[in-house]
Amino acid sequence: MRKYFIIFSAVIFLGLSFFFVKKYLLVSDKDRVMKTMRLAENFLERKDHVSFMKQISMEYLDDYGYTWATLFFVVKNTLNRYENISISLSQVNIEIEENTASVDFLATVEAKPLSGESFADMGRFTLKMKKEGSRWKIVWSGENPYSFY
């Protein structure tokens, strides 16, 4: 009986070890960047501006002059004007160089304001991200103009 317990314990230990290694050690930087993008998308849909801002670096500065602090209030006030928001990211292209990443993507947004009709819009965006510890955080964002080739 003790022999089976030792074998069972060893199997459980090896299984948990494999899970840990796969989940935490074998994750690529592209996967981590994509995780940050998906977290940001989900927090916006849930209108959780506090959790959304955890995906933004304290070094954030964009072309409009928004810093982390000003972006916090812009996001909070914007989300409070909507009943529901649905975001879909596609055509995601991630380029990583050392501890920085550039992410180009197409975002489609469907939203219903507190007063008014639902609407849908889409745009092409670029994010610049920086690796902070093992996490990737957004340090710059901008909209790319439409272009037809």
Quick check: is 4 in a domain?
A: no
Answer yes or no: is 10 within a domain: no
Predicted local distance difference test score (pLDDT) of residue 57: 97
Within 10 Å of residue 30's Cβ, how many Cβ atoms?
15
Average pLDDT, the chain: 89
Higher pLDDT: 29 or 19? It is 29
CATH value at residue 45: 3.10.450.50
pLDDT at 6: 76
Gap between the Cα atoms of 112 and 76, Å rounded:
16
Residue 11 covered by a domain = no
Does a structural domain hold residue 131? Answer: yes
Q: Write the CB contacts of 85 (distance below 8 Å, at least 6 apart in sequence).
A: 44, 45, 47, 79, 109, 110, 111, 112
Instruction: Give the number of domains in the chain.
Output: 1
Which domain, by its residues, includes 100? 28-144
Is residue 8 assigned to a domain? no
How crowded is residue 91: how many other Cβ atoms within 10 Å of its Cβ?
9
Q: What is the pTM of this model?
A: 0.79
How far apart, in whole angstroms, are the C-alpha atoms of residue 125 and residue 58? 20
Does some domain include residue 14?
Answer: no
Residue 129 lies in a domain: yes
Evaluate if residue 7 carries a pLDDT over 80: no
Q: Using one digit for the tens of pLDDT, what is the confidence trace for 54-103?
A: 999 999 999 999 999 999 999 999 999 999 999 999 999 999 999 999 99
Q: Is 15 part of a structural domain of the chain? A: no
